[in-house]
Structure 1
């Protein structure tokens, strides 16, 4: 999700658009290595994989990037190779569909944001690969540059077979578009706005999209909505924090505030963006600086949960 979290391989439009970046498809590399190393010791398979991928996407399959011990990260690679036969057919099919779906999503996105991909803010390199379970999509910093990554393994595992992927791609496209325009903003309320806006943009560009296609599980939304003021009051202290531990409670799976679903910050952020979006264009919202956004965001939170409007902001 700062995770933010993936996307852009197609054409970027506009009168000053940069050359369209090609999607760099590494799914075939994973498949080839899995087949060629089948039956070999796990350590040998891992070594061959790392050697091959080090030249294809330097720094991505690196334990240091994710803060994991080398032995632990190597076990992720070994497990992914071992389990690949069970997902290969679905992995291959979803990977094959991504490029065309992404191109269609970008063409639609560019009609609303015609300055996307402008020469002063060109699209990042875009990779399609096996993410070892890390992500379905998002941006990553590798070797001092931002890249957009789509994990065909997680898309195949998590996304419904009948899902319209356009909202998902446009969610990630918005992050790529918005991040350089919004600038540096480290507090967790910034992420509430960034993720809420990405979800809201996907919803506005795709009327009728299902909750799961917007990355908003219906059951979780219902639980938050059942006592929205209490949920917001619980979140308020975390929103002014810059702590990654607090960020994870709001936006990551596997961690949450007590009594709230995982990733509850996405839904509350979406509600804030929805409120602020009434009567405004998407480009207008996307152009706000952190200073312009902050007062408006907390005003909406005060409106939705007046009992805790006196809390720090």
Structure 2
């Protein structure tokens, strides 16, 4: 596991990884897998990428415990990612180094904002075709934060925005019990709204000077005028009784938080829940400190979000 060391004046004690670096593992994999049939590529991937990190891939990347179709999805995702590697391969080691540097720099800023944050949070840099950055839990319940270097490279993601956003998700899981970015069994849709809005707000505090479109990683979200806030709050309240994980109505979560090629809602960009969540946190900050908001449990967050959304929705 990559252990995050603060860049202090005194030389930090670095953690020694028990497995090869992900950059070295990728180079080893691609040297033998490039140009080979897909079945052979998968075998080499399993041996060189996943085997040294089996628990992380099983629990966090593929979420085997929650997805009975994980093997089918894994095959599809890997096939698409292997097809992209010829253009990405040469740059992956540089992306890993850039991630390591940004994580170290942002961790210093993060602890100034949240002094009780761990100096060595559990952060992993890996390769994954199905996400760019993700908070998850290992089989023993330990929270972990994973960055997928290849996905971030493919997206040309701004690491100075992504890294503090995700560091907050990990901190929040450890200190307030809001895990998996708020998408938790049994909680209402208000919890991921709160969680993503708060992480976006924190990334703006730790990486200032960015537009809302940049912080939200989507320019059209940044173009939503503030005058639309009451109407969008009213729309969300119509869905707020649904669960974050709702097998009978998965479309409800998707229309507020998922990206897609076609719109989920008329007149609103996809992922509008992120925009609404950010505005919600700014509204709550008029009354509460950041430390108070970050300490709310899932139950408290649900109650505060519902109350704030109702007040916002009544504004003209």
Tell me the TM-score normalized by structure 1: 0.80
Structure 2 residue 212 is the aligned partner of structure 1 residue 208: no
Name the SS for the 1:208 alignment partner: coil
Pair 194,21 (structure 1): closer, same or farther in 2 beyond 3 Å? farther
Structure 1 alignment gaps of length 5 or more: 1-6, 14-18, 309-313
- The residue that corresponds to 2:314 in the other structure is 306
Give the match for residue 16 of structure 1. none
Matched residue, 1:52? 48
Go from structure 1 to structure 2 and tell me whether the alpha carbon gap of 1:238 and 1:12 turns closer, same or farther (over 3 Å shift). Answer: farther
Q: What is the aligned length?
A: 289
Q: How big is each residue's C-alpha offset from its partner over 1:119-167, in whole Å with a ceiling of 9 and x where there is no partner? A: xxx733x2212211x222111234334321101112112235xx4x233
| Pairwise CA distance, 1:106 | 0.4
Are the structure 2 counterparts of residues 289 and 243 from structure 1 closer, same or farther at C-alpha, using a change threshold of 3 Å?
closer
Residue 5 (structure 2) pairs with residue 11 (structure 1)? yes
Q: What's the CA shift for 1:69?
A: 5.3
1:248 Cα deviation after fit? 2.5
Of 84-93 and 223-232, deviating more is 223-232
Instruction: Please report how far the alpha carbon of residue 226 of structure 1 lies from its aligned counterpart in structure 2 after TM superposition.
Output: 5.7
Q: Does the Cα contact within 8 Å between 2:212 and 2:222 map onto a contact in 1? A: no
- Structure 2 SS opposite 1:302: helix
Q: 2:181 aligns to what?
A: none
Q: In the TM superposition, what whole-angstrom CA distance separates every residue of 1:193-219 from its partner, at most 9, and x where no partner exists?
A: 111111111112332123354124232
* Residue pairs, 1:137-216, within 5 angstroms: 137-144=133-140, 145-160=142-157, 163=158, 165-183=159-177, 186-216=187-217
Contact 1:196–1:266, Cα closer than 8 Å, also in 2: yes
Distance 2:139 2:224 in 1: 41
Q: Structure 2 regions of 5+ residues with no counterpart? A: 8-12, 179-183
TM-score of the pair, normalised by structure 2: 0.79
- Tell me the alpha carbon deviations over residues 62-120 of structure 1, each in whole angstroms, 9 at most, x when there is no partner: 566355353442243233223211112333322221111110100110011111118xx
Distance of 1:8 and 1:190 partners within structure 2: 29
Distance 2:201 2:63 in 1: 34
Provide the aligned C-alpha RMSD in A: 3.0
In structure 2, distance between residues paired with 1:64 and 1:181: 23
How far did 1:11 drift? Answer: 3.1
Equivalent runs, 1:1-313 vs 2, <5 Å: 9-11=3-5, 25-61=21-57, 65=64, 66-68=67-69, 70-117=71-118, 123-124=121-122, 126-132=123-129, 134-144=130-140, 145-160=142-157, 163=158, 165-183=159-177, 186-223=187-224, 225=226, 227-244=228-245, 245=250, 246-254=252-260, 256-278=264-286, 280-306=288-314
Higher mean alpha-carbon deviation, 139-148 vs 169-178, is at 139-148
